[in-house]
Structure 1
């Protein structure tokens, strides 16, 4: 385990998946990350690469060949190397190998960089193309934040507050986790507040593709403690929880699940990223506790 710490936050990251396992707010004594109860949902904050969501037939089509790939990719199951670490900064690295080439036939280095600065934790995804061709990929985050923050509070005391007024529209998912092409409006309060309820996610994740906001904040109607996620580099946002579970995931994405129908080659997948030979890709989001 790697621990980062300052006067505001103590953050713990495990080698498997380079996954956050704790975001502890020291002034309030509140643990803000879901503690991965395996009987409900056994993850804290998986990192998603080289796909986000599910691929039709659990396959990637690359260069006319098919490659098996699980939902959200293989990195959440992979062991990363901690290549650099200070009291407030750490870099984790996963390089292409025989194990990754079974699923994703490119040469790459995938880094996850964690940086503490006051009450802010910045997470940067860095992809280095070490191949002799353009590579294609998706990348995203899936952190689960514990709700409620405090004892004797209810889940329904909380809401998500978007940075701007939004006409929220979620893109519907099939039972297999693929987009159906249908959308549904999601009611808000005061134009920018989405109340959290135990049944909000009965039909799976809310997937927003056209938000104006680049920040969403978890807030309570009973106090002013809050947690914000800023996702300037990520055009898609997923919001999800196991129905009835005491957490909510706020998921910045550069990529998304496939749509029902015929599989597409990787370069034609929705929201796919491409990176030329020898180039480096960076995308960051920030978690702030206040």
Structure 2
């Protein structure tokens, strides 16, 4: 096999080697624990992802499944049954099987187990495909319902990109440029519960441009639940930047820890519970439902744009 493995250098506990893929422009390394993208480097070896400093947050790019965000009381209801579920679900802490790989692509798989059915009683399959083509890393999640009952779920990407990117300029000189105007208000999280607060807040985007600051995140994430865009460009104007495409995600979260050297740009198909929500999980805002034998694909592409 032509794909390579190496030991992670992070202090985080590792259960397997990283799987490393290469193109002429990018190198990507993925950890089977959570099928999590740990590193994305350009042709000169410059890191485009977080430094994962544990003083702030040791994550890299967890996959959020079968929920995004927090649940009220860390549990949800299906009919008359109640189930406990940690914030962002269990996929990020689950070992994925490596199904196949070559020099520039890999497919990881997570399937329902006795442990997963105890907290999510569905016969699911989550395939996570990574493919490098030139300056683009394509990531495609495929959620399958292999059972005989409708399956409600949410899914989200949670990648942490270097802030600032390694091409010069200060963090607060970076910009996020959406592909559409984004005049809608945003949502914030209730600090006591991590649930979506009821009152929308004025959006920070001027036309298509958002200028992130550390102060923006003192009250946690910024959440767009009425997003028009399905693509954005992140970085310092005039320098090499990243284009992030997310055609299947109708929501977006942006988050970081003030002072840290990362910025999470998170396409979501789902959201935390609204404050006060007591309904059935299938009726929660942002939840999708798959019919038996159906699939849902959710793609995210990261492209390096030379200046």
Q: TM-score, normalised by structure 1?
A: 0.95
Q: Determine the C-alpha separation between the residues in 2 that align with 1:263 and 1:55.
A: 10
**Hey, what does 2:35 align to over in structure 1?**
18
**Hey, what does 1:5 align to over in structure 2?**
22
Deviation, 1:172, is: 2.2
Relative to structure 1, the CA distance from residue 188 to residue 136 in structure 2 (aligned partners, 3 Å threshold; closer, same or farther) is closer
Q: Determine the C-alpha separation between the residues in 1 that align with 2:172 and 2:124.
A: 43
Deviation, 1:201, is: 1.0
Pairing 1:86–2:113 present: no
**Hey, what does 1:234 align to over in structure 2?**
249
**Hey, what does 1:40 align to over in structure 2?**
56
Q: Determine the C-alpha separation between the residues in 2 that align with 1:151 and 1:134.
A: 47
Contact 2:47 2:166 in 1 (8 A): no
Give the alignment partner of residue 254 of structure 1, picking from 255, 264, 269.
Answer: 269
Q: SS where residue 110 of structure 2 aligns?
A: strand
Structure 1, unpaired ranges of 5+: none
Q: SS where residue 99 of structure 1 aligns?
A: helix
Contact 1:168 1:187 in 2 (8 A): no
Relative to structure 1, the CA distance from residue 187 to residue 128 in structure 2 (aligned partners, 3 Å threshold; closer, same or farther) is closer
Contact 2:48 2:166 in 1 (8 A): no
Q: Determine the C-alpha separation between the residues in 2 that align with 1:196 and 1:253.
A: 19
Counterpart mapping for 1:26-105 below 5 A: 26=43, 28-105=44-121
Q: SS where residue 232 of structure 1 aligns?
A: coil
Alignment RMSD: 1.4
Structure 2, unpaired ranges of 5+: 1-17
Structure 1 stretches of at least 4 aligned residues deviating more than 2 Å after TM superposition? 150-153, 186-189
Q: Determine the C-alpha separation between the residues in 2 that align with 1:15 and 1:150.
A: 26
1:244-286 Cα deviation digits (max 9, x unpaired):
2111111111110001114221111111111111112211111
Deviation, 1:151, is: 7.3
Give the alignment partner of residue 282 of structure 1, picking from 286, 297, 300.
Answer: 297
Q: TM-score, normalised by structure 2?
A: 0.90
1:132-163 Cα deviation digits (max 9, x unpaired):
11111000100000011237632112111111
Give the alignment partner of residue 147 of structure 1, picking from 154, 163, 182.
Answer: 163
> Across the two proteins, how many residue pairs are aligned to each other?
287
Pairing 1:109–2:125 present: yes
Pairing 1:265–2:280 present: yes
Q: SS where residue 102 of structure 1 aligns?
A: helix
Deviation, 1:168, is: 4.5
Q: Determine the C-alpha separation between the residues in 2 that align with 1:248 and 1:241.
A: 5
Contact 2:70 2:87 in 1 (8 A): yes
